[in-house]
C-alpha cells in the first residue's frame, strides 16, 4: 500500500455521510445505551473541570455533547463537531426541545477555523481515531483551546483485546476477496491502539502531561438487537448491502456463531478494552 492508498478526509467524509452515518442515526438509542458506561466516565471529567466552553470531537448523534450540557447547566457553552451531516442533523433535532443552546457543527476539525482559545475543555468518546493526519488535527484543536485546558478522550485498545468488535471481520474474512493489509496506525477504529503512538501525536501537536490509562467496560446489548447490530455496523455491515443475496446469506451465517459466543441468557455481554487519554494544552 502506498501513501496514495491511505485514507483521506474525503474518504472519511464519504463513509460517515453514507451508510455508516445513516446506521448510527438509525441505531442511536441502542448505541447510546451500549456506550453509556464510557459516557458516564467522560462526563465525570467534564464535571470535575467545570469548564465554560466544551468542544466534543466526533460527537456523532450528540449524546456526549448533550450530556455535558445537562451536567454543566446553562452557564457553559457546549459545541459538538462531526464530519457526518446525517449524524449532526440528528443531534440538532435531539437538542431542539431539550438543549437549544447546544451548538452542533459539521466540519473537519483538522481544517475548521475555530476561534483561537475558544474552549477550556476538549473531549471525545471514540471520535478521534479517524484523522488522516492526526498531528494536524490535534494541532488545530490545540489552537482552539486556551492554555491550561484539559483534553480527555476514550479510544479502543488493540483488536486482540476486543474480540467482540472484531468478530464480524474474523467470520466474514474468508468469504470476501483479499484486501491490502492496513498500515499500522492507519485511520480507523483501532488507530490509537498503541499508546506510544498516541503520546507522540499529542506531544507533537502542542499537548503536554499526556497520561494514558487502561479502561475496561462491561457492555451489554439486548439479545434481540444482536443480529441487527452485526449486519449493519462496521466495515462488514457497510459492505453487505452491495453483495449478492447468496454471498450475503453465507456471510451472515458465518457471523452468527461468532457473535453467539457473547450471548448470556437474554443479553449480549462483552468487554470493551479502551484507553483513557488525558493531556493539557501547553
Joined together, the cell numbers standing for residue 164 give 467482540
Q: Which residues contact 49 (CB under 8 A, 6 or more apart)?
A: 120, 121, 150
Pick the CATH number of 3-160+182-220+271-281 from 1.10.10.60, 3.40.50.970, 3.40.50.150, 3.40.800.20: 3.40.50.150
Q: How far apart are CA 158 and CA 160, in angstroms?
A: 5
- Assess whether pLDDT exceeds 80 at residue 142: yes
Q: How far apart are CA 188 and CA 7, in angstroms?
A: 9
- Assess whether pLDDT exceeds 50 at residue 23: yes
Q: What is the pLDDT of residue 202?
A: 98
Query: What letter would DSSP give residue 125?
Result: E
Give the residue-averaged pLDDT of 182-193.
91
- Assess whether pLDDT exceeds 90 at residue 76: yes
Q: What is the DSSP string of 170-196?
A: HHHGGGS---PPPPTT-SSTTTT--HH
Query: What letter would DSSP give residue 133?
Result: S
Contact 3/133 with Cβ under 8 angstroms?
no
- Assess whether pLDDT exceeds 90 at residue 154: yes
Q: What is the pLDDT of residue 177?
A: 81
- Assess whether pLDDT exceeds 80 at residue 87: yes
Joined together, the cell numbers standing for residue 216 give 475496561
Q: How far apart are CA 151 and CA 46, in angstroms?
A: 10
Q: What is the pLDDT of residue 5?
A: 35
Q: In whole numbers, what is the pLDDT of the chain averaged over residues?
A: 93
Q: How far apart are CA 145 and CA 129, in angstroms?
A: 19
User: What Cα–Cα distance (Å) separates residue 192 from each residue in 66, 121, 123, 124, 165?
Assistant: 25, 21, 15, 13, 15
Task: List helix spans (H) across the chain.
Answer: 9-16, 19-26, 28-34, 36-49, 63-72, 85-98, 134-143, 163-172, 195-204, 226-232, 234-239, 245-260
Q: How confident is the model at residue 6 (pLDDT cuts 50, 70, 90)?
A: very low
- Assess whether pLDDT exceeds 70 at residue 3: no
Q: How far apart are CA 270 and CA 162, in angstroms?
A: 8
Q: What is the pLDDT of residue 4?
A: 34
Which residue ranges make up each domain of the chain? 3-160+182-220+271-281
Length of the chain: 282
Percent of the chain whose pLDDT exceeds 70: 97
Q: What is the pLDDT of residue 1?
A: 29
- Assess whether pLDDT exceeds 50 at residue 274: yes
Give the residue-averaged pLDDT of 232-246.
93
Dihedral of CA 70/117/195/48: which sign? negative
- Assess whether pLDDT exceeds 60 at residue 131: yes
Q: What is the pLDDT of residue 176?
A: 86
Q: How far apart are CA 50 and CA 41, in angstroms?
A: 15
Give the residue-averaged pLDDT of 235-253.
94
- Assess whether pLDDT exceeds 50 at residue 232: yes
Q: How confident is the model at residue 9 (pLDDT cuts 50, 70, 90)?
A: low
Joined together, the cell numbers standing for residue 211 give 497520561
What residues pair up with 11 in beta bridges, in sequence order?
A: none
Q: For residue 142, which of 35, 281, 261 has the smallest C-alpha distance?
A: 281
| pTM as predicted | 0.93
- Assess whether pLDDT exceeds 70 at residue 124: yes
Give the residue-averaged pLDDT of 1-21.
67
The vertex-231 CA angle with 229 and 237, nearest 5°, equals 105
Q: What is the pLDDT of residue 8?
A: 60
Q: For residue 164, which of 214, 217, 207 has the smallest C-alpha distance?
A: 217
Give the residue-averaged pLDDT of 80-100.
94
43 φψ region: left (φ > 0), alpha (ψ -120 to 50), beta (else): alpha
67 or 99, greater pLDDT: 67
5 or 107, greater pLDDT: 107
Q: At what angle do helices 245-260 and 163-172 cross, to 10 degrees?
A: 150
- Assess whether pLDDT exceeds 50 at residue 2: no
Amino acid at each position: 500500500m502506498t501513501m496514495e492508498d491511505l485514507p483521506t478526509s474525503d474518504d472519511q467524509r464519504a463513509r460517515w455521510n453514507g451508510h455508516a452515518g445513516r446506521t448510527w442515526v438509525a441505531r442511536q438509542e441502542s448505541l447510546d445505551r451500549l456506550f453509556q458506561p464510557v459516557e458516564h466516565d467522560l462526563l465525570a471529567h467534564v464535571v470535575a473541570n467545570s469548564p465554560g466552553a466544551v468542544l466534543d470531537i466526533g460527537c456523532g448523534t450528540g449524546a456526549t455533547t448533550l450530556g455535558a450540557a445537562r451536567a454543566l447547566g446553562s452557564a457553559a457553552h457546549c459545541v459538538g463537531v462531526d464530519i457526518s451531516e446525517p449524524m449532526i442533523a440528528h443531534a440538532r433535532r435531539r437538542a431542539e426541545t431539550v438543549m437549544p443552546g447546544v451548538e452542533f457543527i459539521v466540519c473537519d476539525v483538522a481544517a475548521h477555523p475555530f476561534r483561537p482559545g475558544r474552549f477550556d475543555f476538549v473531549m471525545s468518546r471514540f471520535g478521534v481515531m479517524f484523522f488522516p493526519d492526526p498531528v494536524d488535527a490535534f494541532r488545530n484543536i490545540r489552537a482552539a483551546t486556551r492554555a491550561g485546558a484539559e483534553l480527555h478522550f476514550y479510544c479502543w485498545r488493540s483488536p486482540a483485546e476486543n474480540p467482540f468488535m472484531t468478530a464480524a471481520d474474523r467470520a466474514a474474512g474468508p468469504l470476501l476477496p483479499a484486501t491490502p493489509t492496513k498500515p499500522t496506525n492507519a485511520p480507523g477504529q483501532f488507530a490509537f491502539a498503541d499508546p506510544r503512538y498516541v503520546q507522540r501525536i499529542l506531544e507533537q501537536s502542542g499537548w503536554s502531561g499526556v497520561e494514558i490509562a487502561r479502561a475496561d467496560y462491561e457492555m451489554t446489548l439486548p439479545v434481540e438487537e444482536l443480529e441487527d447490530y452485526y449486519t449493519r455496523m462496521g466495515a462488514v455491515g457497510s459492505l453487505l448491502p452491495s453483495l449478492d443475496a447468496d454471498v450475503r446469506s453465507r456471510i451472515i451465517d458465518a457471523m452468527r456463531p461468532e457473535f453467539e459466543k457473547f450471548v448470556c441468557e437474554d443479553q449480549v455481554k462483552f468487554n470493551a478494552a479502551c484507553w483513557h487519554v488525558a493531556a493539557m494544552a501547553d
